[in-house]
Amino acid sequence: MQEMEGKIILITGGASGIGKIMVGALLARKAKVIIWDINSAKIEQTVSEFSEIGTVIGFTVDISDVHQVQETALKVTQEIGVVEVLINNAGIVAGKYFHEHSTSDILKTMEINASAPMLISKLFLPGMLGQNSGHICNIASSGGLISNPKMAVYAASKWALIGWSDSLRLEMKLLKKNIYVTTIMPYYINTGMFDGVQSKIPILDPKVAALAIIKAIEKKKRMVTIPGYIYRLTKLGQGLLSLNAFDWFAGTALGIYKTMEHFTGHKNNS
């Protein structure tokens, strides 16, 4: 069991949604929490709300901007210290048919959901390697396990994140480094990001999802779906059924292929 007390923990997208909930839960565990978020007002609100509980420091960062990420990572390391737990949580979604996406939609989704976690981890990994300890937790999605209409680009970004994240885990194991990597694949979470989604499978409560993520880090879990049966359900179905049969199972029986039909989302999906 990994203790959070005294650890320097950085959360991207930490000023809202499950990121903000994790901030409060980690401060309650006596961790020192750093928030990266694109929304300065929400950072100020979150820092003000939690400052009496413990040490929380906010940085305004657009994680799709490589130069901002590099400059802020250097500032964090120089002014605060080695980040011991990194939670790559920030993400966006554009719920449209693929042909309706703009070039900007595609590039921004891939930059924030797939490229940014890799680049941010690359900047903080040397510090972890230097002390031979650390933990990187990547918040992917169950959308990275199964194809879904009106989620083509989002699914692509999360498939990429899952593949990289678990490959990094294997590399650390191969190199015999005491650095853990956890890949989280939650179902839809009721944070506003997926407003309008209609699902036969229950949509997740944000507090339940946030706590499950923290527990996964504490227990040094490798790959976690929320709820747990999602991984087994999709992998078993994909392994045993023909493509036509699986399309019926996922699309008709579970209704997954229709979940995004009435998607609205919110204006700021970070």
Is the CB of residue 137 less than 8 Å from the CB of residue 213?
A: yes
* Cα radius of gyration (the chain): 18
Which CATH class name applies to 8-258? alpha beta
State the Cα angle at 268 between 263 and 269, rounded to 5°.
Answer: 60
Q: What is the Cα 12 distance to its own chain's centre?
A: 8
Q: Where are the domains of the chain?
A: 8-258
State the Cα angle at 218 between 49 and 17, rounded to 5°.
Answer: 35
Q: Which residues are catalytic?
A: 154
pLDDT of residue 268: 46
**Using CA atoms, how far apart are residues 74 and 133, in angstroms rounded to an integer?**
19
User: What are the DSSP calls for 248-265, one per residue?
Assistant: HIIIIIS-GGGTTTT---
Q: Which class for 193: exposed (0-12), middle (13-18), buried (19 or more C-beta within 10 A)?
A: buried
164-212 pLDDT, tens digit per residue, is: 999 999 999 999 999 999 999 999 999 989 999 999 999 999 999 999 9
**Using CA atoms, how far apart are residues 83 and 8, in angstroms rounded to an integer?**
5
Question: Which residues lie closer than 8 Å to 24 by C-beta, 6 or more apart?
Answer: 50, 53
Is the pLDDT at 270 greater than 80? The verdict is no
237-268 pLDDT, tens digit per residue, is: 999 999 999 999 999 999 999 999 989 987 54
User: What are the DSSP calls for 35-70, one per residue?
Assistant: EEES-HHHHHHHHHHHTTTS-EEEEE--TT-HHHHH
Using alpha carbons, select from 39, 59, 177, 184 the residue that is nearest to residue 120.
Answer: 59
3-state secondary structure of 12: strand
**Using CA atoms, how far apart are residues 270 and 38, in angstroms rounded to an integer?**
8
115-161 pLDDT, tens digit per residue, is: 999 999 999 999 999 999 999 999 999 999 999 999 999 999 999 99
Using alpha carbons, select from 144, 197, 137, 183 the residue that is nearest to residue 13.
Answer: 137
**Using CA atoms, how far apart are residues 156 and 147, in angstroms rounded to an integer?**
9
pLDDT of residue 140: 97
Q: What is the mean pLDDT of residues 104-108?
A: 97
Is the pLDDT at 100 greater than 80? The verdict is yes
Name residue, tokens 């994140």.
161
